[in-house]
Amino acid sequence: MNKARRLVKKPLYRLYESRILKFLDRDKLPRHIGVIHDGHRRYARAEGLPDYAASYREGMRKFVEFLGWTDELEIPAITCWLLSTENLSRPAEELEPYYDVLIDLFESIPDKIQGHDVSVRFVGSLDLLPQRLSDAAKTLEAECTIGNRRVTIALAYGGRQEIVDAARELVGHLADEGVAAESIAEHIDKDSLSSFMYSADLPDPDLVIRTSGETRLSGFLLWQAAYAEFSFVDVYWPEFRRVDFLRAIRDFTHSNRRYGR
């Protein structure tokens, strides 16, 4: 959507947002939202931006806006997938600018969330990342440890790898507890495996939002999202709007969750 059309429609969207908020059932809000921030490169091409870095910067500004939207609704937990393990195979000329943008984001977050009762945690294979990026992530995590609302940032994350890591941790734990090798399988069930997932202290996501029109999880929270509701939004992440977010929340509150029954 071009800039002129966005400006014309902005007041209309504000009215629509107010209407959604007015009739939103606050007792049915999700406790945990997962987000796949997809579409940066396609957005850059569609908007004729000079490079992908410009799109990444737009996307990270949107990320900060999104934190504010979830704060308004007092959503207790959000998990944001900012970099997958598959993304790491992209050319260096694409990855290096994104790393720079992420570092800038992580350095700015403490000031932006000050006073908002938010803690930040990272999950994923940070050891696969350049030292400068993993250091920025660890510094942010150390600075934002106190807060009842949790922002989890999935970085160099893959859902299959998370399940593999959980299985390894569980087997190692059982061995340390003295369980005989031939009896270990008897101690592995969904509850014991769940307790070794990266964010085992969080409730499973109730709602997963993916932007850019793609209708797949691509490995995001494969274990935890088994009974989540999904919202696949057509717009690219940098142009994701508050009204898109509120519509996803409204639709969630109207859903009849059967948990596989």
Summarised one tens digit per residue, pLDDT across range 180-231 is 999 999 999 999 999 999 999 999 999 999 999 999 999 999 999 999 999 9
User: Bigger pLDDT: 5 or 156?
Assistant: 156
Instruction: State the average pLDDT over residues 153-161.
Output: 98
What band does 163 get if pLDDT is binned at 50, 70 and 90? Answer: very high
Structural class in CATH, domain 30-158+207-249:
alpha beta
Residue 160 has pLDDT above 80, yes or no: yes
With pLDDT > 90 as the criterion, what percentage of the chain qualifies?
87
Asked which of 64-78, 100-114, 215-229, 246-260 is least confident by mean pLDDT, the reply is 246-260
Helix (H, G, I), strand (E, B) or coil at 158: coil
Instruction: State the average pLDDT over residues 115-125.
Output: 92
Bridge partner residues of 210 (DSSP): 36, 232
Residue 8 has pLDDT above 60, yes or no: no
Q: 121-141, pLDDT tens digit by residue?
A: 999 999 999 999 999 999 999
Residue 6 has pLDDT above 80, yes or no: no
- Check residue 117 and give its pLDDT: 87
Question: CB-based contacts of 218: which residues, under 8 Å, 6+ apart?
Answer: 36, 84, 86
- Check residue 260 and give its pLDDT: 63
Helix (H, G, I), strand (E, B) or coil at 230: strand
Point out the residues that are catalytic: 38, 87
Instruction: State the average pLDDT over residues 60-72.
Output: 95
